[in-house]
Amino acid sequence: MVGPAIRICYDRIMVVFKIGLLQDLAAESAAGPAESGKGQAGEPLKLGPAAEELIRRLFPPDQQPEAVRFLTEECGYNMPWPKPPAPEEIERLRAALVKLAGGELEKLKEWVSEISAVLVSAAAPHREPRSFPPLKLSPATEERLKRVFAPEQWPEAARLLMEECGNNLPFCQEMDEFRMERIRFAVLKLAAGDLDKLRKWIKDAQRDWRDTLMDAGFGEDVTAHLRWEGRAGV
């Protein structure tokens, strides 16, 4: 039986889906799949009617075959589930990802990649936050940091991001410096050049970075952070 955390209004699917649903599915699949969910890892699972209908509605006709192919081959039993979930749960996941993508193939691929990372992280052994080594900044993160903070604050701001806003965040154990850009851009934007605010927003992200993304305006679009050029609060 699916837990209440995945009873999500699909008309308002946002980043909460990624953590809420996937946590439940990972936990349930680890406990053992439903009888109907048996299948070999990597075996393609035919797209169900819900996802197919959404693809027809949301994707341009010339992109529909590739969207169907991609979900069939890349979003099924081949994902890093502890154990395969039931086919109907994979179908719900696929339908949600189609909505999140909004008719854009690149976004669909980005979401599938992010979901895979969440599943890997959910299955990873828990480690205390301080046990993670510092995660370096990507060039884009460093560039935005230098636009937001005064030069004398650069070393401390960089240290906070590398030591406190990296793989120690929930479900970010497998992220590299590039995949952390979305969260790091969010705390930089919200800090608005104030180190105390940066510390505050990093602590918030350590509790639940979904809220941080929403507060920064990056929560509903996985590419929104890329359009932020580094002006504080804008």
pLDDT tens-digit map of 27-43: 444 444 433 333 444 46
Report whether pLDDT(2) > 70: no
Residue 113 has what pLDDT? 81
Q: How confident is the model at residue 4 (pLDDT cuts 50, 70, 90)?
A: very low
- The pLDDT > 90 percentage for the chain reads 43
Three-class SS state of 166: coil
103, amino acid identity: G
Contacts of 204 (CB under 8 A, 6+ apart): 211, 212
Residue 85: burial class (beta carbons within 10 Å; 0-12, 13-18, 19+):
buried
Asked if residue 161 lies in contact with residue 185, where contact means CB atoms within 8 angstroms, the answer is no
Confidence band of 17 (pLDDT split at 50, 70, 90): very low
135 CB burial (10 A radius; 0-12, 13-18, 19+): buried
Write out pLDDT tens, residues 169-219: 988 888 899 999 999 999 999 999 999 999 999 999 998 898 999 999 998
How distant, in Å, are the alpha carbons of 43, 152, 159, 230 from that of 141?
38, 17, 12, 9
Reference 126, options 176, 171, 74; nearest CA is 171
**DSSP code of residue 230:** S
Residues with Cβ within 8 Å of 82's Cβ and at least 6 positions away in sequence, in order, are 26, 29, 30, 123
pLDDT for the residue 11:
30
Residue 123 confidence class, pLDDT cut points 50, 70, 90: low
So what's the pLDDT on residue 122?
A: 59
Q: What is the pLDDT of residue 232?
A: 52
Q: Which two tokens stand for residue 51?
A: 């996802």
Entry pTM: 0.54
- As given in the structure block, the two tokens for residue 209 are 């970075």
Q: Which residues contact 170 (CB under 8 A, 6 or more apart)?
A: 19, 206, 208, 209
Task: Name the pLDDT band for 164 (thresholds 50, 70, 90).
Answer: very high
pLDDT band at 74 (very low <50, low <70, confident <90, very high): confident
Mean pLDDT of 50-70: 93
The residue ranges of DSSP E strands in 24-141, in sequence order, are none
Contacts 24+ apart (CB under 8 A), 149-153: 149/193, 149/195, 150/193, 153/193, 153/195
